[in-house]
Amino acid sequence: MKHLFTSDYCELAHPAVLEAFSAIGNTQFEGYGLDEFSMRASDLVRTLVNFPSADVHFIAGGTHTNLVLISSVLRPHEAVIAPKTGHIFVHETGAIEATGHKICTAQGDSGKLSVPEVEAIVKEHCDEHMVKPKLVYISLSTECGTVYSKAELTALSSYCRSNGLYLFMDGARLGAAVNSPACDLKYADIAALCDAFYIGGTKNGALFGEALVLTNDAFKDDFRFLIKQRGAMLAKGAAIGLQFEALLKDGLYDKLASHSVNMAMKLADGIKAAGYGFLYPPQTNLIIPVLPKATASKLRESYGFHDWEDRGDMLAIRLVTSWATPEAFVNEFLTELV
Residues 235-294 that bind a copy of itself (CB under 8 A): 235-236, 238-239, 242
| Among the listed residues 173, 172, 187, 183, the one whose alpha carbon sits nearest the alpha carbon of residue 54 | 187
Establish if 29 lies at the interface with a copy of itself (CB under 8 A). yes
Choices 97-105, 182-190, 268-276, 330-338 (CB under 8 A): range interacting with a copy of itself: 97-105
Task: Please say whether the dihedral angle defined by the alpha carbons of residues 68, 70, 73 and 77, taken in this order, is positive or negative.
Answer: negative
Q: Cα(179)–Cα(256) distance, rounded to whole angstroms?
A: 9
CB of 88 to a copy of itself, least distance (A): 11
Nearer to a copy of itself, 222 or 313 (CB): 222
Choices 163-171, 225-233, 257-265, 313-321 (CB under 8 A): range interacting with a copy of itself: 225-233
Choices 156-164, 173-181, 220-228, 312-320 (CB under 8 A): range interacting with a copy of itself: 220-228
Establish if 164 lies at the interface with a copy of itself (CB under 8 A). no
Q: How many residues bind a copy of itself (CB under 8 A)?
A: 77
Nearer to a copy of itself, 206 or 265 (CB): 206
Establish if 61 lies at the interface with a copy of itself (CB under 8 A). yes
Contact partners, residue 251, CB within 8 Å, separation at least 6: none
Query: 3-class DSSP state for residue 81?
Result: strand
CB of 233 to a copy of itself, least distance (A): 7
Which residues make beta-bridge pairs with 196?
168, 214
Choices 150-158, 212-220, 230-238, 266-274 (CB under 8 A): range interacting with a copy of itself: 230-238
Q: Which of residues 127-156 bind a copy of itself (CB under 8 A)?
A: 128-132
Establish if 9 lies at the interface with a copy of itself (CB under 8 A). yes
Residue 336 neighbours by CB distance under 10 Å: 13
Interface residue with a copy of itself, options 45, 56, 86, 101 (CB under 8 A)? 101
Choices 42-50, 144-152, 223-231, 282-290 (CB under 8 A): range interacting with a copy of itself: 223-231
Residue 261 CA: distances (Å) to CA of 16, 177, 291? 20, 8, 21
Burial of 148 (0-12, 13-18, 19+ CB in 10 A): buried
Choices 58-66, 159-167, 275-283, 285-293 (CB under 8 A): range interacting with a copy of itself: 58-66
In one letter, which amino acid is 110?
S
Establish if 190 lies at the interface with a copy of itself (CB under 8 A). no
Establish if 81 lies at the interface with a copy of itself (CB under 8 A). no
Alpha helix locations (H) across the chain? 15-23, 36-49, 62-73, 87-90, 95-98, 115-124, 150-162, 174-178, 187-193, 223-229, 238-248, 252-273, 293-300, 327-337
Residue 15 neighbours by CB distance under 10 Å: 10
Establish if 76 lies at the interface with a copy of itself (CB under 8 A). yes
- 337 CB-side CA count, 13 A: 19
CB of 213 to a copy of itself, least distance (A): 18
Choices 45-53, 76-84, 159-167, 244-252 (CB under 8 A): range interacting with a copy of itself: 76-84
Establish if 13 lies at the interface with a copy of itself (CB under 8 A). yes
Task: Please say whether the dihedral angle defined by the alpha carbons of residues 40, 42, 45 and 47, taken in this order, is positive or negative.
Answer: negative
Contact partners, residue 241, CB within 8 Å, separation at least 6: 33, 35, 37, 38, 39, 40, 41, 42, 58
Establish if 57 lies at the interface with a copy of itself (CB under 8 A). no
Nearer to a copy of itself, 68 or 268 (CB): 68
Establish if 100 lies at the interface with a copy of itself (CB under 8 A). yes
Nearer to a copy of itself, 18 or 155 (CB): 18
